[in-house]
Amino acid sequence: MASFAQCYGPWAVILGASDGTGAAFARAIAAAGIHCILVARREQPLADLAAELTREHSVECITAPVDLADADASVQVIAAASDREVGLLVTNAGADPHGALFLEQTSAAWESLLAINITNTLRCCHHFGGLMRARRRGGLLLVGSGACRGGAARLATYSGAKAFVRCFAESLWQEMKDDNVHVLHLELTTTDTPSFRKLLAEKGRKPLRGMTSPEDVARVGLARLARGPNYFWGQKLGLRASLRRTRVRLVTHLSGKFILEPAQADGQRL
């Protein structure tokens, strides 16, 4: 616990912290003695969670009721963090509340999904990741979905957004590993969250068997953060993660031959 706090403390920002996996991440992080900045749209669940974490783990908690689909959401998150030293960012928001065909929703609805998954994720990673790099310590944990592996009906915008998150995280892992900033894309399958249960109920479906618990997601995600760049939930062996690491290094090396000066490309570390 002390080692985890030394790597990723003293403060963590958790996006989408009001329930489900976000709240589970907050509880696990607070149990490690790290103070929490809890961000989500609904104010009361954040306040209740903050009170719980302070009571049970004696940590400080800041709540920031922010709609992460807003154009200035990242500005609000950064303002909530203020000058606190943030050593861990968990981008947990980004579920698809629609489960609809592309043309069944307005373009504005899909743009909101992109704002959560892409625009504000990018901006928060740029701000907090830059500070971590300067301190040469910290972690970025980007929660994604198995939808990142390909498109399907009713997944057009969601799968595209999640593919961005995966490639973005893998690239940051390569760029920041020499600065001692850990980056992990945590790729989930069906997880037992309130938002997913609500979507199933709206579609007239019962909860699925074998759904992953939010607590397991948080435990495994935080345990694998230092390994990066990608962990596919349910992959019992580490083979897939090691193959992704190899691929990222190889593409970095090959692209360097075209993008960097020759001397820089030759000196790249694989």
162 is catalytic: yes
Q: Identify the active-site residue in 8, 162, 177, 203.
A: 162
Dihedral angle computed from the Cα positions of residues 103, 108, 111 and 117, in that order, rounded to the nearest 10 degrees: -100
C-alpha of 71 from chain center? 19
* Cα–Cα distance, 248 to 251 (Å, whole number): 5
- Reading the block at residue 174, the tokens are 């390569």
Query: 16 with 40: CB under 8 angstroms?
Result: yes
38-61: b (≥16 Cβ within 10 Å) or e: bbbbeeebbeebbeebeeebebeb
* Cα–Cα distance, 52 to 180 (Å, whole number): 32
Q: Identify the active-site residue in 8, 158, 236, 257.
A: 158
Query: 238 with 45: CB under 8 angstroms?
Result: no
CB atoms within 10 A of CB 130: 12
H/E element holding 44? helix 43-57
Amino acid at 218: A
The SS3 call for residue 9 is coil
Catalytic residues: 158, 162
